Structure 1
């Protein structure tokens, strides 16, 4: 029996399906934890003694640790073996979720969230690298990446749905404690079904690790602080200036490092670099939908946490539905052209959503824009994940996976910081219908994120056309 036949046996297909389920289970629980507490924030404020200033750090502490350590986590996975690092990350995340779920004061909750974010930074870069290794055949790999991308894209809205249901029907604590049984199942299945990767010879690039971790942390902290205190705040200015200097130092270090933590050659390809930039932009726009629309539904339209969560179901379903239609659409239009079209569609959906006001009805003025957004954003995220890993050598899978997830996390932090400033500057308030038009201003600003993403996608389209032309010319 040939190697190809061996790869397509029922036992092999079942094993790969379970492998994909394990990877997706980890990815989903870690991504949805960025938003699962959104609908529960008022309850946390009352029960754990938060005030209006410290409450935002329930989310920000997770984002800070996650974003700051992602590239380091990717490199450690390459050095020590991705399955090993994945399992350690899942184990720590599971314990941190248990701690967060039983937290009895604000300090314990924030500490647990920092630990969750750090664990995610080491586990998540390994997931995409393991997936690419598990599915070597291009067709199967493309389908697996599509499902993986849908989970990433839908994770935020799934978190709001799950958080809203648990908050209203049981307790906000179950939104965090649900990670414990999921984590245990993932840990039990991992040794049997996840492939272990060989260790890359070398050591951690210490100067690169220190500069990128400190730089990313300073960047996320500065953006978070800008959302709270404004861009003119001294802490914001110092943090962002430090981030620029540290990240410039990181680039200089990586240019001369023997085994860099993030090979700069990954940025030489126009398709990959464009995919990272577009991802930052559109994830930043979509975070406004997760964060501000949830508040709008509860504070302006009077939805309960449960109802606000249910309101996101159409958006979430479309993220997953696009997995099944992207293959025929790609065959019809080509992936670069489909990316341009999907960004235009998503931008139109966001523009439509910007028309909301104090008297807006959920149907049709919220539901229909969400459907348009789900079609465009769901398609774009799938394509961007594939483009972000295109042409990457096996030795660089971990680093490329780390960059995809770093772009995703940075996009959320940048978008939320910028749009929080827009919300406050437009007269937005935390409660009641006063300043309800500020939500429309937020979504209008988010529309510009898609507007900027479209020309970047056009450059990817031109680069792909040029590469295809060169390939045709080089054939005998």
Structure 2
């Protein structure tokens, strides 16, 4: 394939991944306006965010399997059409129910198109160094989408309304579709049977798990619906493992996890999302709800983090290509842990320049991890397994974000409720109202919650206290992961440097 066509393929795949990643976070800035104009409560707003994540995480493995069976180009383009149509439907929504349905359609489209991107890159860029550079650029653009969402979301909402955060996807999607039809190659499909039991169990298990994690903070972790969903998800996922072990042609080859390098790579993807999605979800609540920043200023505050991702992503790919993924991945995890711990040192009175270094370190750490994880996985699996491997990495990355928001949110809410008990009792707030206040100030649209002055002051102090505990818990988890991944990604002494590894999964 000539160089010009390769560049166009890379541009198409980078554009679509940027679109899918930015959609994970840009909608957060629009939630207060959506709530006001569509008359939605906290529960409805939460599902505007999580309806996308639920379907995306639940169907990623299925998207990878369908691409292997019916052609990655065909499934990729189908997903692109669905995602673009879902974006237009979301922008035109006149009710919260229609908006959530449109977000579900977006999630379905993203689940179909995402796994094909890495496998197409692996096919098009056959030279190892060329492939590493391409994956580095692709990873950097994906990370940029996550980082730039909050930056551009606030100004867009203020200038053009909440629908603009969905309209932005439509021209990108249409351009990528036109270009993709012209330049994307059709890869050979595998002569495999569809693993329908595995696909059904994976979708139900992952969907139930995400649902329990989403509803847990709102309903309470002992709520029967939450407990039932969580238990059903665990049983279903256990059944999925049993089925995949016994199926001749599984959608997820469990030998993937026997390889310590692959295990270390996907663990890194999961934990970076765990810490950084959790922190990114609650940082706007601190800036807007406690410090009183407007959405535009709160979004622009993230520019240093975005700049560091742009710098670190290509750098990490070059380092991984020369020295292997261990150095950039472990360093990135350590920097992310440092950033979370550093952010916990500041309260509502901190000045922006005082904690600016935290955003720089956070962005650089995130940028260091994205490309090496993908490079490690794509260099370790057979070409026929690239779709499955890509889907596995992205599933765990998405689950990491959902788990991070749920776990760190639960820590924050629990600590906030405990810290609020005394002050609210002294202010004469009834016991049943305390939980509602805690839920209101940690959920979607929290920046717009109106509270009496003394109550707001007490909430701000308790919120910062709870946020500090959650951030430190995330920092400890990331630091521990850095140590474990350093062990898992240790060099193979039996192999000489510079010799390409043989794929461990061989169809």
TM-score range, shorter chain: over 0.9
Residue-by-residue CA offset, 1:157-204 (whole Å, 9 max, x unaligned)? 222122212111111111101111111101100121111111211231
1:146 aligned partner = 136
- CA distance in structure 1 between the aligned counterparts of 2:298 and 2:56, rounded to whole angstroms: 26
Find 2:467's aligned residue among 439, 448, 469: 439
CA distance in 2 between counterparts of 1:77 and 1:331 reads: 27
Partner SS for 1:435: helix
- TM-score of the two chains, using structure 2 as the length reference: 0.87
Q: CA deviation at 1:33?
A: 0.8
Mapped partners of 2:463, 2:241: distance in 1: 43
Match of 1:423 among 408, 412, 424: 412
State whether structure 2 residue 340 is matched by structure 1 residue 313: no
CA distance in 2: counterparts of 1:192 and 1:136, whole angstroms: 20
Q: Which residue of 1 aligns with 2:41?
A: 51
Q: Within 5 Å, give how 1:175-190 maps onto structure 2.
A: 175-190=165-180
Query: How big is the shift at 1:54?
Result: 2.0
Give the C-alpha shift of residue 41 in structure 1: 0.8
1:127 to partner: Cα distance: 0.9
The answer for the alignment partner of 1:206 in structure 2 is 196
Partner Cα distance (2:83, 2:330) in 1: 37
Deviation, 1:32, is 1.1
Contact 1:284/1:416 (<8 A) preserved = yes
Aligned residue in 2 for 1:3: none
Partner of 2:432: none
SS in 2 for 1:426: helix
Matches within 5 A, 1:18-37: 18-37=8-27
- Specify the alignment match of 1:4 in structure 2: none
CA contact (8 A) 1:227 1:416 kept: no
The corresponding residue for 2:182 is 192
3-state SS in 2 of match to 1:420:
helix
Query: How far is 1:452 from its partner?
Result: 2.5
Q: CA deviation at 1:470?
A: 11
CA distance in 2, matches of 1:47, 1:467: 63
Matches within 5 A, 1:297-376: 297-326=287-316, 329-330=319-320, 334-365=324-355, 367-376=356-365
- Counterpart position of 1:457: 485
- Deviation, 1:76, is 0.3
| 146 and 328 in structure 1: CA distance in 2 versus 1, 3 angstrom threshold | closer
Q: Unpaired segments of 5 or more residues in structure 2?
A: 417-437, 450-455, 500-507
Q: Call closer, same or farther: CA 1:140–1:245 in 2, change over 3 Å.
A: same
CA distance in 1, matches of 2:179, 2:234: 42
Q: Distance in 2 between matches of 1:421 and 1:307?
A: 27
Mark the CA change 1:68 to 1:467 in structure 2 (over 3 Å): closer, same or farther: farther
Distance apart, 1:417 and its partner CA: 0.5
DSSP-derived class of the 2:462 partner = coil
1:78 is matched with 68
Q: 1:230 to 1:147 in 2, by over 3 A?
A: farther
Deviation at 1:436, TM superposition (A): 3.5
TM-score (norm 1): 0.93
1:391 has 2:380 as partner: yes
Shift, 1:461, TM fit: 3.1
